[in-house]
Chains A and B, each alone.
Chain A
Amino acid sequence: MMKVPSGSIDCDVHPAVPGMAALMPHLDAFWREHLAERYIDQSPFTLQSYAPSLPHSARPDWRSAKGVAGSDLEVFRAQALDAFGTRLAIANVLYGAVALFNNDMAAALCAAVNNWVAREWLDHEPRLRASILVAPENAELAAGEIERCAGDQRFVQVLLLVMGDHPLGHRNYWPIYRAAERHGLPIGIHAGSTFRHAPTGSGWPSYHVEDSILQAPAFEDTVVSFLAEGVFQKFPGTKLVLMEAGFAWLPALMWRTNRSWRGVRTEVPWIDRPPADIVRDHVRVTLQPVDAPNGEVLNRVIDHIRSDELILFSTDYPHWQFDGEDALPAGLSDAMIRKITVDNPLATYPRLRADANQERAELRREAAP
């Protein structure tokens, strides 16, 4: 593993809501009372996928005696940002409200989380940007939340979990993609499940570790869903960012869909070019977890993908993906490191580019005689 060059853009960090007390100021009178009356305000809303005690949920040296890992801004600054010399980081708050069946409650809580992130994090830390958390099972409400938050340019992405009611390319979810495309917001799909279904086609595995491993095939099915449903034809500005998905499985997906496309095309005639080409244009993946075992294999996998533009740097703080400051796997060329840590994130997130342009303009003004 290698040290991260300073000035990198970290595309997946996880501030954590310390408890519903932090969200109460951002809820209206009805929800404040309703959640209190039902004692829901005492619920932690932690996802099964990231139960705090699980090893991957927090690196040992990032765990805190007081509170959930990632919930304290000062600690976050030091551990997630200063330690890596990070220039910009995108905050993905994995708040479990998205698992509720009550769509209105889920939407109200997601809105509260988004307000909380803006007020308590973005307002205080200029290096941070954020994803708009939405509960997708009511796509109209989710689209409304995107519209509500999009005016704040520090929101750079929409955040979804990979496993819900339907594969995410399904038409039910299209209001989300319509709204996101309008505002130039990539769709960030993060590992995790609301367990509306068993994680596998043959039921419920026994172990947490199996659930973790099986995020990868869920991401595969998700990419195929976007391809088959024609989301990229309907909303050509759509970019997917697959977070904590791994990426060593991508070549097999590209090869298999390229072959089958020619035989299944007449059912999905809107797919107008090889699926592998579509993936290279529309799909990005964050670096962690690096699911190649060494540098040689990693570089072969990148060769198989046939593009150096897909991987976006991430630390996945405070999840445990590497030790020390070795967030970069060994074996990457300097050129590839530059692409992963700066160029690819800037190319993927229009709102980061706008930032970068603004910064450059300011630097030029300062430098001008």
Chain B
Amino acid sequence: MSRYVVGRAADVAPGTSKLVIAKGRELGIFNVGGKFYALANRCPHKGGPLCHGRITGLAHSGGPGEYKYIRPGEFLRCPWHGWEFEIATGQSYCDPKTMRIRQFEVAVAPGEELVKGPYIAENFPVFLEEDYLVVEI
């Protein structure tokens, strides 16, 4: 594993992302509420350019006709088939070893109750060293 400087923290404002190349890999660097995450730009479903997808929250419902929008900015939708991924962990929301939507209360910290399954978007640790964003691949 080595570390690569991919840009400055100021390059990626909260709620936005930036496509970078590190170790020959395309990565998306995401700023979610001041914390930085890196995801490989390849959807584990069918290889779509994941990091070009819409940064969004979660559509949540307690039953037909009820609509809530929770956890804004914490999710990414693949621009091809629309799969939803939690940016912080790369975990797919609807993967086969599914978790029930009801487990997602607003109070739950990201990633704690997501059931791990085969569909995880490859993610890499991001460190902030002074002003610089450093990815470990």
A positions within 8 Å CB-CB of B: 171, 229-231, 233-234, 259, 261-266, 269-270, 272-274, 277
Contacts and interface: CB of A to CB of B under 8 A. Distances in A.
Contact of A269 (B67, B83, B98, B100): B67
B64 A234 contact: yes
Interface in B59-82: 59-67, 81-82
Given A230-B63, A234-B64, A269-B59, A262 B84 contact: yes
A144 to B, nearest CB: 23
B96 interface: yes
A277 B99 CA distance: 13
Given A263-B82, A269-B59, A229 B100 contact: no
Interface of B: 45, 59-67, 81-84, 94, 96, 98, 100-102
A230 B63 CA distance: 7
B95 to A, nearest CB: 9
Most buried by B among A231, A234, A273: A273
B115 to A, nearest CB: 11
Nearest to A231: B64
B101 A272 contact: yes
Contacts of B102: 272
A287 B83 CA distance: 36
B59 A265 contact: yes
Given A262-B81, A262-B83, A269 B94 contact: no
A263 B59 contact: no
Contacts of B45: 262
Nearest to A261: B94
Contact of A273 (B64, B67, B98): B98
Contacts of A274: 94, 96, 98
A278 to B, nearest CB: 11
A53 B106 CA distance: 62
Nearest to A233: B63
Contacts of A272: 100-102
15 contacts: A231-B64, A234-B64, A262-B45, A262-B81, A262-B94, A263-B83, A264-B82, A265-B84, A266-B82, A269-B60, A269-B61, A270-B62, A272-B100, A272-B102, A273-B98
Q: Is the interface of B mostly helix, strand, loop or mixed?
A: loop
A277 B45 CA distance: 20
A68 to B, nearest CB: 41
Nearest to A277: B98
Contact of B94 (A171, A229, A230, A265): A265
Contacts of A233: 63-64
Contacts of B62: 270
A273 B100 contact: yes
Nearest to A272: B101
B70 to A, nearest CB: 10
Contacts of B66: 270
Given A262-B82, A263-B82, 12 more contacts: A230-B64, A234-B63, A259-B81, A262-B84, A262-B94, A263-B83, A265-B94, A266-B82, A269-B59, A270-B61, A270-B64, A272-B102
B120 to A, nearest CB: 15
B83 A229 contact: no
Most buried by A among B59, B62, B64, B66: B64
Nearest to A259: B81
A316 to B, nearest CB: 33
A273 B102 CA distance: 10
Contacts of B83: 262-263
A230 B64 CA distance: 5
